[in-house]
Each structure stands twice: as C-alpha cells, then as structure tokens.
Amino acid sequence: MLDKTSDVTVAVDSWLAQFEAALADNDGDALRRLFLSESYWRDVLALSWHIQTFNGAPAILQALQARVAQPRGFAVDAERAPPRQVTRAGTAAIEAIFNFETDIGRGDGIVRLIPDTADGNRLKAWTLLTALEGLKGFEEELGSARPRGQSYSRDFRGPNWLDLRNASLAYADRDPAVLVVGGGQSGLAIAARLKLLKVDTLIVDRETRIGDNWRKRYHALTLHNQVHVNHLPYMPFPPSWPVYIPKDKLANWLESYVDAMELNVWTGTEFEGGTYDETKACWHVVLRKADGTRREMHPRHIVMATGVSGIPNLPAMPGLTDFKGKVLHSSAYDDGERWNGKRAIVIGTGNSGHDIAQDLEGSGADVTLVQRSSTLVVNIEPSAQLVYAPYSEGTLEDNDLIALSMPLALGRRSHAMLTEQARQIDKPLLDGLESRGFQLDFGEDGTGWQFKYLTRGGGYYFNVGCSDLIVSGAVKLKQFAEIDRFVAEGVRLKRGETIEADLVVLATGYRPQEELVQKLLGKQVADRVGPIWGFGDGQELRNMYVRTGQPGLTFIAGGLAQCRINSKFLALQIKAIEEGMLPRGAASAAE
C-alpha cells in the first residue's frame, strides 16, 4: 500500500485513466485486469438506468460491456474528500471520490483500490460505485440556477407570491404529474427533489397536519439515531438541535419544511384508490378531502410513501376477544399517564414494545412485557451508533456517497463486525437479560440491527432504559409460549396462573406493504409489483426507489438518511420519464 498522499492520488489518477481508456476501446482484457477477482460494482442509474450490483470480475466485465451510456471525463473530484487510505469492512484500501459524465448526465463515484497479490501487487478495484448525479439540461434549481420568481419591476395589480402559491396548491385547472401518497419524511423528500426538477407534485396525507405521523405517537418518543445523520434534502437541521430529536420537534420541522420548500400538500385527504389507464399512461385516482368531497385526478405517477407498511399487524391470539380491558395496537398508544396504578401487558419486544413498557412503568403502571420471538438488544450509546461512525467526520454529501457505495456483501460483513463489537461492549446488560429469561439474537449471520430493519422492518431494541428495568424486575417478563389464552381478567398462563390486566398493547408490527398496494390499487397491480422491501435473492431492496413492474408506480420508505439519499435517484428516474429519456412502461433490463 502507498504511503504518501501524492502517491495515493497518482495511483487513483492512473486507474481512472486506464478505466476510461478501456471503456472507450471496449477492451475486455484491459477492463478485466483492472478488477480483483473478488470485486463489486454498484451502478446507480449512471450507466444502466437501474440500481444494481455486480460481483466478481467476470460479471462486472459483462455488465460494463452491456452498458447503455458511455462515460468519460473521469477525474478525482477536487471539491470532495481527497484520495486516502481507509479501512472498510475490515479491509485496508485506497478510497477516492471521482466524477464523470455521459451524454445524458453528470455522475459521481467512488473507487477502492487494493493490491492484487496474485498479480505483483498491482492496484486493482475492489469496489466501484457509479451514480447519476444530475441530468444534463434539467439541473436542479439551486444556487446560481435558483428561480427568479417575480421580477424586480412587477405588476402591482397582478398576483403576488401568496396568490401564486394558493393557485398552485388548489389544482383547480390541472392534475399533478406526480401524486405522492403519504406526507412523512419519505413523501416530503421525494416531493422536494421533484420540485427542484420542475415536476409538478402533490402530496396527500390523511392526517390533519404534516408531522402528525410523529406528533401523535407516544409521549416519550425520540429518534434513536443521532441528529447529524438525519437531515432532509436541502435543509439541514440547525446546529443547535439536540443529539436525539424529540418527536414533536421533528413533527414541527416537517411542517416547516413543507412551507419553506413550497411543497403542495393536501392534509386530511384520504387516497381511496386508483386504476391505471394503459392507453393514456396515467392513473385514475379518487381522493376524499377533509370536507368530505371527492376529487378525481389523473397523475402520470403515483409514489407510495406510506412507510415500510401502513397496516397494523393484529395477529389472532386465543381468547383476546374475551378480554374486558382495553386493547390497543402500538400505533394507537399515546401516553401512559392515564394508566397510573393500572396493570398493563405489552406484547412484542421491538423498539415500540420496550418504549411503551418503559413509558407505562414510568407512569406508575404495573407492566408485564411478553416476548414472542428472540430479539436483538443493543445499548443506544455507544453500541447502536457504531454503524454511523463515518458521519461523525467529513461532509454529509461525502458520507452519503460512501454509504451508497457499499455493496450488500460488504455491508453485511461490516455490520457483522460492528455487531460483534457491540455485543462485547454490551455484555453485562445482555448477560443480565438472559438471566431473566430474555431470548436474544444478533440478526441473520450476526449482521445486527440494521439488517434486521432492511429485511423485516423490526425485531430489535435500542436500549434507552427498558432493558435495565427488565433486569431489575421493575418490568416483568414472560414468554408468549407460556400463555394459554386471554381471559376476561387478563391472560392465563399454561401453568394455571392468571396475570390480571386493564390494558393490552399489541406491539406486533405491521403487515407487508404489498397488502396495502392490493387494498388500494388491486390484486393485479400488487402481483405486477411483487414483494416490497427486503432483499429476496438480489442485492438491492426489492421495488424500492426504482421503477417497478407496474408503470407509473414507485415506492419510497425508510429512515431520514435513506430517504435523503435515495429520493434523488427516484426523482431522477421520474424526471427522465417525463422528459422522454426513459419509456413510460414498466422497468426493463434492456434499457
């Protein structure tokens, strides 16, 4: 490995030059010699109009030769972090951020080089990212390209800014090009991206106010990852904000974001469903507005931004209908104060179950937490934050690109290493939980909480105190397998004991998102799309941030960082369709 910064930069420049020449000449042998046998290329729209990953030199060579865009002008990006030596997924490498262009757009990328011991320690690519940054001729209206709005010399009798905003929001004489269903962070992120690309976009949300999806959740909720990871596009949080953002603070920010970014939003509006017109390449949708009236619209695109899922999971539990107390799904739980002096059973040991149990215990309730399956537990500090360590230094833009560049296989390897590190840090707590009968796991192949989220949307808990309450006995623990059935007074165990309760909270998660698609758009559309979220047999999240098998239907979900990063690429695809750069039909591998 090289030692001097200048030597590192020279090595990167040399590799990029050879890569560009080999691509220009379509020289398969030269391309093959530039990649390690174990190597990874992730292309995010730049050369293929798809988000996809290729493993190994033969697969990379085949995909590069099948590219639909010819890249050129590869150069180290002088405005980003300089080429440097790093360790990623336990492997030392030279990492460099570069830019390039094609006929249709500008691109960013990252290459990581390591010596090939089988070829005289020649530096070769271990990982490569090529990502579309923007479309030529359709740049975002930012900086020097910001819109002028009304001119300095204006008509004092004409409409002012507020008149124009109200007219835009009313949609009295037009339909939006894009209808975004859901006004949480994912819906706002994609709408903001589309606005700056001049794509007419309307968000509809059934809540009374933007932010109510956070505002109405339980009293003590704060985000479990730190503020510097969680910014929305274009508007970072103020530097005075707390490390962990309270739910109401975030909710108010989302509402302010709509106003500041001039996003068109109809709140109190229910998306009742829609059908796709193949001939006209648009949707026929029905919206029920806050005043009870219905509005038909014909957008060319629907973006489902309803979260990983929107339908509460209410599993059948023997005798639950016999219980005479109150039964709530965790999504309907708001505050523990009314349960002071009462008895509560919380079923489910993910974040919501633990947080609700802690809130109830702190409010003076007698709480029993029921575990249905093994759960990953990690202390919120420092262990849960290990995965975000790169964000503690460097710029947000660089760190987002680094996060985007990690292929699935290396991401799993990296998270397994961090999970083992967290397991050792948290050993006293984990030993205490096991002594109480708590069933622990550490994710598939030990890959930790983030891959649990990416594959199933839950199954883990960031400990902010409830685990300590379980260890101390302040929150009692039972296994679901111990339960015989619910009875009028509470729950009866198989050994005959009855745990009396006034409240049962079902912290049992949500149904798969494809069920919501079927409910709103019909079985045929749901079948065309297929599974949503998780990885299946592939290396990318299924049907997320990309065109799907159903023309005009896309999905966005995830935490704030995921939405910030991936909204850009979903917006670019929609803009490309609107400008005729991509067909309006379903996604095709032949593009």
Q: How far is CA 73 from CA 128, 335, 394, in A?
A: 16, 57, 25
Describe the strand order of the beta sheet including 201-204 as a list of residue ranges.
Answer: 264-266, 201-204, 178-181, 301-304, 553-555
The CATH number corresponding to 162-310+511-578 among 3.40.1670.10, 3.50.50.60, 3.90.1150.10, 3.40.50.2000 equals 3.50.50.60
Q: Which pLDDT score is estimated for 590?
A: 47
- Checking DSSP bridges between strand 35-44 and strand 122-135, what pairing results, if any? parallel
d(CA 160, CA 443): 56
Q: Please report the pLDDT score of residue 215 as a whole number.
A: 93
- The predicted pLDDT at position 155 comes to 72
User: Which one, of 225, 448, 255, 218, lies nearest residue 330 by Cα?
Assistant: 218
Instruction: Look at residue 518 in the predicted model and tell me its pLDDT.
Output: 94
Cα–Cα distance, 71 to 65 (Å, whole number): 12
Question: What's the pLDDT score for residue 50?
Answer: 95
Contact 161, 262 (CB under 8 A): no
The fold adopted by the segment(s) 5-135 is: Nuclear Transport Factor 2; Chain: A, (3.10.450)
Comparing 162-310+511-578 with 320-506, is the CATH topology the same?
Answer: yes
The tens-digit pLDDT sequence of the chain (591 residues) is 666 667 899 999 999 999 999 999 999 999 999 999 999 999 999 999 999 999 999 999 999 999 999 999 999 999 999 999 999 999 999 999 999 999 999 999 999 999 999 999 999 999 999 999 999 999 998 876 777 666 555 677 788 889 999 999 999 999 999 999 999 999 999 999 999 999 999 999 999 999 999 998 888 888 989 999 999 999 999 999 999 999 999 999 999 999 999 999 999 999 999 999 999 999 999 999 989 999 999 999 999 999 865 789 999 999 999 999 999 999 899 888 999 999 999 999 999 999 999 999 999 999 999 999 999 999 999 999 999 988 988 999 999 999 999 999 999 999 999 999 999 999 999 999 999 999 999 999 999 999 999 998 899 999 999 999 999 999 999 999 999 999 999 999 999 999 999 999 999 998 889 999 999 999 999 999 999 999 988 899 999 999 999 999 999 999 999 999 999 999 999 999 999 999 886 665 445
What's the per-residue H, E or C state across 151-177? CCCCCCCCCCHHHHHHHHHHCCCCCCC
Q: Which residues pair with 130 in a beta bridge?
A: 43, 109
Token pair, residue 78, equals 């002088």
Say if residues 331 and 308 touch (Cβ distance below 8 Å). Answer: no
Q: 430: helix, coil or strand?
A: helix
Partnered with residue 135 across adjacent β-strands are 105
CATH architecture of 320-506: 3-Layer(bba) Sandwich (3.50)
Rg (CA), the chain: 26
| Sequence-separated (6 or more) residues with CB below 8 Å from residue 480 | 347, 370, 371, 372
Nearest to 98 by CA among 68, 128, 119, 125: 128
- Note whether 323 and 490 are within 8 A (CB): yes
DSSP 298-334: --SEEEE-S-S--SB-----TTGGG--SEEEEGGG--
Q: According to the model, what pLDDT value does residue 54 have?
A: 97
Give me the residue label for tokens 């038909």: 296
Cα distance between residue 413 and residue 433, in whole Å:
27
Give the pTM: 0.94
Contacts 24+ apart (CB under 8 A), 521-524: 521/273, 521/274, 521/275, 521/276, 521/302, 521/550, 521/553, 522/273, 522/275
The residues spanned by each domain of the chain are 5-135, 162-310+511-578, 320-506
At 22, which helix (H) or strand (E)? helix 5-25
